[in-house]
Chains A and B, each alone.
Chain A
Amino acid sequence: MIASRTQVALIVGLLLLLGLGLTLYKTTMLGFPLLPGEYRDVWTIESKISFQPKDEPLTVELELPQGLAGWTIIEEHFASSGFGFSVRDSDGHRKARWTREGLDRPTTLYYKIQTYRAAQASLPDRRPRPVRPPRLEPDQLAAMDRLVAMLRERSAGIETFTELMIQEINRKTLDQDVEFLLGTYQADRVTIMLDILASAGIAAQRVRGIALEDGRRRQTISSLIEVHNGSDWTLYHPETAATGLPPDFFVWERGDEAILTVVGGQGSSLEFALLRNTLPAKTVMAMEHRTREYALVDFSIYALPVEQQGVFKTLLLIPVGALVVVFLRLFVGIPTSGTFMPVLIALAFIETTLLVGLLLFIILVGVGLWIRSWLSRLNLLLVARVSTVVIVVVLLMAVFALGSYKLGLDQALTVTFFPTIILAWTIERMSILWEEDGPHEVLIQGGGSLLVAVLAYLVMTTRVVEHLTFNFPELLISLLAVIILIGRYTGYRLSELYRFRDLAKPK
């Protein structure tokens, strides 16, 4: 017994030291802050270039972003195995070029950056190029002239002209001339807008960038319109006509040149996977300056591809949830239905937010129980019955999502984040419990599970916890030690202090 005790002590000590030591090293030597201070939203943008190669030498050129409007690029990474690769600077442009003799199957190239907006700067001033009217067919030209005349008549300057034009092109019932132009142009609306501006003699250009959305997988490039009013540039959104740079818009390129050119290939596309990490400002600084110096930074979660980072963001919270469960079961003694079911429910709560999640869970389980009580009359075999409950749960989710969407309640859409199978088993178990031990026991176990889930959720969403798990995954090693230690706890549970309370009185 003593041997086992020393063994445990040794292992626990070692794990604790290892985890804490690594953390200490990262904080003192690499400047990762232990406590979350000021935060920055660091976006990881993974660009995916895909195309079908033709049977000839291949050249892919990508215009690289240059960190405009306060956006700072912390890290750049290219994936180019099997390709000749170079990055060139020429007259204010940076271009990455992949080359290859020939290729026989569709291929994907990757370019990943980490960036954050260091300052809320606007785009630098630059002199507009002389306006050149577009080259058009005669009938297009006539329509264009009429349109420009109409807009001029109703506007009082360059600003109102631009706004009016954007509104006109985005209207539901289009003006005849606009409809004609849209129909005959082989280009997107932004091109038409730029041509209209050019026809009116207004200096304007396109600004390409990415509308950032956390967790978005297949975002495409979007454009803003920049208009020069004689002294300053103003940005316009081509749909809403809102001015200025939208808050989460990463500026990739300013000007009309194409971002991606593929020679020797066809059907090329450029898509982006996006992920936001809210990081302490100091960490960002550390990453900015030391990426190349220390291998350990490269060994952190940030080195992973975007999609995996997103997965790890939640994955790393599970041990914390498990710790909460271990604590509540062994020290407090709260009865739950299914040992780790509350952790999974808590993970769902993170997506749905707490109140909505609680409401959805209670309604789902409630309706599920009701349907299940009806099912028990059908006399089905267990596996079939649980499968039926699974299907019922999925259907309920669909009904929920649809119903709430029609009612305009977007939040209920997050119902899909609940783990279906776990819900089905919870319903099945609760239903049996109801039959065997009565509704009282169902309330106790259901309430216990929800309480544990809520507590786990509260701990998991604490800023410090999110910060520590994601920035210092090595702390998991120490967490492991703590759980091993708790596993050796043989003292009383809080619930037992209540259960045996009457023994205190002398008989």
Chain B
Amino acid sequence: MIRLISPRELARLGILGMNQRNHGYIGRYNRRQNYQLVDNKLKTKAAALANHIPVPELYGVIEHQFEVRRLDALLAERTSFVMKPVQGSGGKGILVIAGRRGGAFIKTCGTAIGASDLRRHASNTLAGLYSLGGRTDHVMIESLIEFDPQFAQYSYEGVPDVRVIIYKGVPVMAMIRCATHRSGGKANLHQGAVGVGLDMATGRSICAVQQGRIVDVHPDTGARFDDLRIPHWERILDFASRCAEMTGLGYLGADIVFDYHKGPMLLELNARPGLAIQLANQCGLRHRLRAADRIAVEATDRAERVRLAQQRFGVACDA
């Protein structure tokens, strides 16, 4: 027998459903014309830099099929890099190269691929295989994040990232997404990554979830999630809030990664952030979104919004 939760119970918990997210938030507060800045990662990068938000270094862009031949030259001096579609969605088409061995490129999972595979990946991306609605796309190549060793135990074969949901400029909920063997080094929850809900006040872990089930330790490394605490927490919330201002989107997801040398960096933005964050936090979004409506009215500047969010959305307040 399939166990279900009653809609009334869900409403009491304040869980945001897909229909309401699309209709009440994305449809209402995200204007089409502002999507460009988010869907196009190059534009995101440029805007972020203009707003003093650090981003991974851009190595190069491939816009046309004939440029694919120059890929070797472009990558000559790089031992590690990330290739991604400029307008990709859902983490599709991201190829992470962690090192080289002879003429081969080593993926994070340890598999070696050849230069021809890289070129094929670039051609596919250009043809629009990974982009929304199959439009033709460009390939961008950027630096690989050297992640902070303190996160090494929480993520397997991939970079963990912090997802923050920002509503009307107010950060409302956050989680860190840890790659697992099952997720193939990707930080996508539906592919099997672990989502760890974060206390908005402190950046401490609340609870961890894999495929909708609560877990205490990382399935591959065995590290306990209880001890997890995100450094530079205020700065991350500030970045997130700044992203909302920069894009003009009312409902936004920001993905932030940690570089060992350069600290937190904006990886990408998402105008249609998923709902799994509620599972990772074991908490619904709706009550917080309503509270954020009030904060947006009360607060005058960004610092105030972040401060009020930390104050009102901390674990102590939710209980």
Q: Taking A379-B120, A490-B19, A507-B207 as contacts, is the C-beta distance between A497 and B129 under 8 angstroms?
A: no
B92, B124, B128, B213 interface centre (most CB from chain A within 10 Å): B124
B5, B124, B213 interface centre (most CB from chain A within 10 Å): B5
Evaluate contact between A502 and B129: CB separation under 8 angstroms: no
Q: Cβ of B13: which chain A residues have Cβ within 8 Å of it?
A: 500, 503
Question: Interface size on A (CB < 8 Å)?
Answer: 26
Evaluate contact between B10 and A496: CB separation under 8 angstroms: yes
Evaluate contact between A500 and B128: CB separation under 8 angstroms: no
B18 in the interface (beta carbon within 8 A): yes
CA distance in complex: A494, B6 (Å)? 10
Q: How far is the CB of A249 from chain B (nearest CB, A)?
A: 52
Question: When each residue 102-117 of chain A gets 1 if its CB lies under 8 Å from chain B and 0 otherwise, what string results?
Answer: 0000000000000000
Interface residues of A: mostly helix, strand, loop or mixed?
helix
Q: Taking A382-B127, A491-B7 as contacts, is the C-beta distance between A496 and B15 under 8 angstroms?
A: yes
Q: Taking A379-B116, A383-B127, A503-B279 as contacts, is the C-beta distance between A489 and B4 under 8 angstroms?
A: no
Q: How far is the CB of A8 from chain B (nearest CB, A)?
A: 12
A381 in the interface (beta carbon within 8 A): yes
Evaluate contact between A502 and B24: CB separation under 8 angstroms: no
Q: Cβ of B123: which chain A residues have Cβ within 8 Å of it?
A: 379, 381-382
In the complex, which residues 199-255 of chain B have their Cβ closer than 8 Å to any Cβ of chain A?
Answer: 207, 212-214
Q: How far is the CB of B133 from chain A (nearest CB, A)?
A: 11
Q: How far is the CB of A414 from chain B (nearest CB, A)?
A: 30
Q: How far is the CB of B105 from chain A (nearest CB, A)?
A: 16
CA distance in complex: A489, B19 (Å)? 7
A172 in the interface (beta carbon within 8 A): no
Evaluate contact between B127 and A492: CB separation under 8 angstroms: no
CB < 8 Å neighbour of A503 from B18, B19, B129, B282: B282
Evaluate contact between B207 and A500: CB separation under 8 angstroms: no
Q: Cβ of B19: which chain A residues have Cβ within 8 Å of it?
A: 330, 489-493
CA distance in complex: A491, B19 (Å)? 6
B9 in the interface (beta carbon within 8 A): yes
Evaluate contact between A432 and B129: CB separation under 8 angstroms: yes
Question: Interface size on B (CB < 8 Å)?
Answer: 36
Evaluate contact between A507 and B282: CB separation under 8 angstroms: yes
Evaluate contact between A497 and B20: CB separation under 8 angstroms: no
CA distance in complex: A448, B10 (Å)? 25
Evaluate contact between B23 and A500: CB separation under 8 angstroms: no
Q: Cβ of A333: which chain B residues have Cβ within 8 Å of it?
A: 18
Evaluate contact between B124 and A491: CB separation under 8 angstroms: no
In the complex, which residues 111-133 of chain B have their Cβ closer than 8 Å to any Cβ of chain A?
Answer: 116, 120, 123-124, 127-129
CA distance in complex: A489, B20 (Å)? 8
Evaluate contact between B17 and A502: CB separation under 8 angstroms: no
Evaluate contact between B128 and A382: CB separation under 8 angstroms: yes
Q: How far is the CB of A447 from chain B (nearest CB, A)?
A: 16
Question: When each residue 187-212 of chain A gets 1 if its CB lies under 8 Å from chain B and 0 otherwise, what string results?
Answer: 00000000000000000000000000
A499 in the interface (beta carbon within 8 A): yes
A381, A432, A490 interface centre (most CB from chain B within 10 Å): A490
In the complex, which residues 279-308 of chain B have their Cβ closer than 8 Å to any Cβ of chain A?
Answer: 279, 282, 284
B interface residues (Cβ-Cβ under 8 A, vs A): 2-7, 9-11, 13, 15, 17-20, 23-24, 65, 92, 116, 120, 123-124, 127-129, 191, 207, 212-214, 275, 278-279, 282, 284
Show 15 residue pairs from A and B whose CB-CB distance is below 8 angstroms, ordered by the A residue: A333-B18, A379-B116, A381-B123, A382-B124, A491-B20, A496-B17, A496-B18, A499-B212, A500-B5, A500-B10, A500-B15, A501-B3, A502-B214, A503-B282, A503-B284
Q: Which 4 A-B pairs have the closest CB atoms?
A: A382-B127, A490-B20, A492-B17, A497-B4
Beyond the given A489-B23, A503-B278, please list 4 additional residue pairs across the A-B interface where CB-CB is below 8 A.
A491-B7, A491-B20, A498-B4, A500-B15
